[in-house]
Amino acid sequence: MTVLQIIQPDNPLLRRPAARVTDFGQGLQTLIDDMHDTMEEAKGFGLAGPQVACSLRIIMARSPEGEVSGESASEDAEKLYVVANPQIIKRSEEKVLGVEGCLSLPGLLGDVERHESIEIAGQDREGRPIRLPASGRLARVFQHEIDHLDGVLYIDIATSVWRPTEEDQAAIAGAAENQ
């Protein structure tokens, strides 16, 4: 298990557009495994390459099973999605306002408007083409992580940003458990 350092906004790499993934060899596989360990250790819902100082277009997101395919999720069942070179190819007209945080911006939360549902295209960890429709929390996480690949942080598009109180943190933890 290798836990990578999650960089903060003072590192200019977090603000640069990431490079396209072209090599799906062992180096990328190790990076993906290390990113997973890092995301799990930090208890995050998603992570992008630039957040661990790797300027590659690679993201991962975890979500209850069923948010992609529409199946009902069993309790505690989660699925990990790894997408290289992701692009949003469809967006719902409907947008929703939701609270977001970021592993690169600890101690802050913000209200961000995102598309309720999207479809992304990209490649899986072996380089095979994939398409993933997503809604709800998973759609929000995908949009947040894809923004990282373009050097955009949620605080750039948030309608408000604040330091959470203990009540805020408890409410968010409860909402996340119910999603």
Q: What is the pLDDT of residue 71?
A: 45
In a domain, 21, yes or no: yes
In a domain, 172, yes or no: yes
Question: By C-alpha distance, which of 150, 152, 153, 125 is closest to 55?
Answer: 150
From 32-41, 123-132, 144-153, 167-176, the region with the lowest mean pLDDT = 167-176
Which of 75, 145, 166, 167 is an active site residue?
145
- DSSP run (H or E) holding 42: helix 26-42
In a domain, 100, yes or no: yes
Where is pLDDT greater, at 166 or 77? 166
In a domain, 45, yes or no: yes
In a domain, 20, yes or no: yes
Q: In the 8-state DSSP scheme, what is residue 19?
A: B
Question: β-strand 129-135 against 160-162: which pairing, if any?
Answer: unpaired
Q: How many domains does the chain have?
A: 1
145 in active site? yes
In a domain, 4, yes or no: no
Quick one: average pLDDT of 159-168?
89
Residue 169 pLDDT level (bands cut at 50, 70, 90)? low
Residue 77 pLDDT level (bands cut at 50, 70, 90)? low
In a domain, 3, yes or no: no
Question: β-strand 78-91 against 117-123: which pairing, if any?
Answer: antiparallel
In the block, residue with structure tokens 């380089």: 127
Question: Average pLDDT of the chain?
Answer: 90
In a domain, 7, yes or no: no
Q: pLDDT above 70 covers what percent of the chain?
A: 85
Residue 171 pLDDT level (bands cut at 50, 70, 90)? low
Residue 163 maps to which CATH number? 3.90.45.10
In the block, residue with structure tokens 């590659």: 56
162 is in which domain, residue-wise?
Answer: 12-177
